[in-house]
A and B are shown apart, each in its own frame.
Chain A
Amino acid sequence: MLSIKNLHARVEEKTILKGLNLEVKPGEVHAIMGPNGAGKSTLGYVLSGREGYEVESGSASLNDADLLDLEAEERAHAGLFLAFQYPVEIPGVSNLEFLKAAVDANRAAKGLEPMSSKELLKTAKEVCKEVDLPIAFLKRGVNEGFSGGEKKRNEIMQMMMLKPSLCILDETDSGLDIDALQVVAKGVNSQRSPERSFVVVTHYQRLLDFIKPDFVHVLADGKIVKSGGPELALELEKHGYAWLEEKSA
């Protein structure tokens, strides 16, 4: 599904990713943990095609599509979804209008007709309920005046509407209390399927209590320095990242 090989990328003059390798197979959940500044968010931005993030070398493919060769919107069409750590507020553009445009754009890329407004509204209402967002939020500006937790739930809602094949969750747990965390995790878990994979980027082990990963990787200084099963996350929680850096040094 997702195959990243020896990826080097920089922001402005600073190289952040320094030879990252990652293989994610259909249905798998991978957690990527690591200290601040290791390149965790950069990975999501590079894969999703944010401007200013420049790939120096290496490759990244998703379902046989060469991601790095595509525009941001084409990466979404290829099945990629990034749940942002800090979703932007877009006043004046309603959540519903935004969802319709996104759903229809992805359908159009597959050669499908736009979803009828009625069906879209019905689906959106159902999804709202699942992530515990009031239906009135559909009429509000995208993320406008939403609390931190509401923004994260709105990200999960978009994910549920778009049904991507690979979801990257960028520190989706940051700024969430335990209740909000459970709602988000429930949403994510409901989307797990043999065809859909997740890359869960997080600083803390806490989220992984709720979203059980198949693999845990440690990202430090731009590359994955250690991989293992869920037990690795527990070890990191206990000993911190310093322990690992000493070990790898």
Chain B
Amino acid sequence: MSHWFDRTQDAAKRGPLTQFQAKQLQVLANTAWPSRKTEAWRYTSLFGLAEEQFAAPSQQLSNPDFADIETIDVLFDGEEWQLPTSLPKGLSISLETVDTALTKPDHHIFGLINDTRTQQSLTIKVAESATITQPIRIAVAAQLNCEQFARVTAELGNNSQCTVIEQLAGNSEGLSSLFCEYDVADSAHLNHYRFQLQGDLHYSIGGNHIRLGNHSQLDSHVVGFGSKLSRLDIDVEHAGEHAQANLNAIFLLDGKEHFDLHTTIEHAMPNGTTEENVRGIVADRSKATFNGRIHIHRDAQKTLAELNNRNLLMSRNAELNTKPELEIYADDVRCAHGATVAELDEKSMYYLTSRGISRQDAQIMLNFGFINELVDQMQHEAVAEWLRPQLRQRFAQMKQV
């Protein structure tokens, strides 16, 4: 039972709905509100959300701050998209009706909700062989006590390249739902960032669903500060051969924040490579879940897949659930996974303090180092530089109990 779920369906029914949306609403009507017995929601309770009531956003929001880098800005102000006035050659950004799913599977309940609650789909198209050097930044700012649903589909033509930055900001009570779908065609390269830098008052539920063509490449970086409840589902499908997926995710939780990351990598075709690194730090009474699934289909021979999850527990009251899942049906693959939960390395601590650095500062440095390894891998140095001070500040505030 969920009043919020009932209300959201009622709101969707008021329409207007496209045929596709009507169909999704029908699927939704036959979908049960997840409980703790639902496997995909085992460690994340929706009990709190079930009773929430949010308004539709009304006022226009300003663009959240970002890195010192020229970007093509697209802002979602809660209800409407603000599109850039000029675009480089080879790039089109438009608003389309919601009439199909590009790459998102139907089993995500919040994905279905998003399908039915969005009026328009932000549609990005990168022409064949085009290289868009300026990153496209999609910003969603939270508005007090409101719920907002945003939907993005992006198609990268053969041999094209672009960078997309999804930025969710604001720390007011409310709910943001941003689902982005990417179709990366043959030999195309997507640089992807998702920054969920919201605070402990916000619900943030969304997804990234990416299909990779032959010889295509994905470099994805996710950074989450957690929220009152944050849930992100990432699906990557190796739909072509020789595709390469590099996924990095970082989450830093404090207070009573809750972060839940589910990733599913489908190796449907041979010769694909996946490297996934997830690092989390949980402090105080926060709670994190990471579920990383790699599914190697029978025909996906010569797949190389590595999944690594490392976590730091900063407090006895913090909770971390990590579950790597490998499902392998091909016999000629190299696949490895590892998950660790540890406290700070005392040897490193001793080394730093022996140089005169206080324990507190050493702790910040080590925590920062732990995730900075992944920040260092970001292709855009300006983005990394924008992020680092925020992470540092976050650490400095983290409570150790």
Residues of A at the B interface (CB closer than 8 Å) are: 48-51, 71-73, 75-77, 81-82, 84, 87-88, 90-93, 97-98, 101-102, 105-106, 109, 141-142, 158, 162
Contacts and interface: CB of A to CB of B under 8 A. Distances in A.
A113 B356 CA distance: 15
A162 B356 CA distance: 9
B270 to A, nearest CB: 33
Contact of A92 (B356, B359, B361, B373): B373
B351 A73 contact: no
Interface of B: 345-348, 350-359, 361, 365-366, 368-373, 376
B367 to A, nearest CB: 9
Most buried by B among A75, A81, A88, A162: A88
Q: Could you tell me the dominant secondary structure of chain B's interface residues?
A: helix
A102 B351 contact: no
B350 A50 contact: yes
A90 B357 contact: no
A50 B345 CA distance: 13
B31 to A, nearest CB: 42
Contacts of B371: 92
B347 A88 contact: yes
Contacts of A75: 354
**What 7 A-B pairs have minimum CB-CB distances, sorted nearest first?**
A92-B369, A76-B356, A93-B369, A92-B372, A102-B355, A92-B373, A72-B353
7 contacts: A51-B350, A73-B359, A75-B354, A90-B348, A92-B372, A93-B366, A101-B357
B348 A88 contact: yes
Given A51-B350, A101-B361, A90 B369 contact: yes
A90 B373 contact: no
Nearest to B361: A101
A77 B354 CA distance: 9
Given A72-B350, A105-B356, 16 more contacts: A51-B346, A71-B353, A73-B358, A76-B353, A88-B351, A92-B369, A92-B370, A98-B355, A98-B365, A101-B355, A102-B355, A105-B361, A109-B356, A141-B369, A141-B373, A158-B355
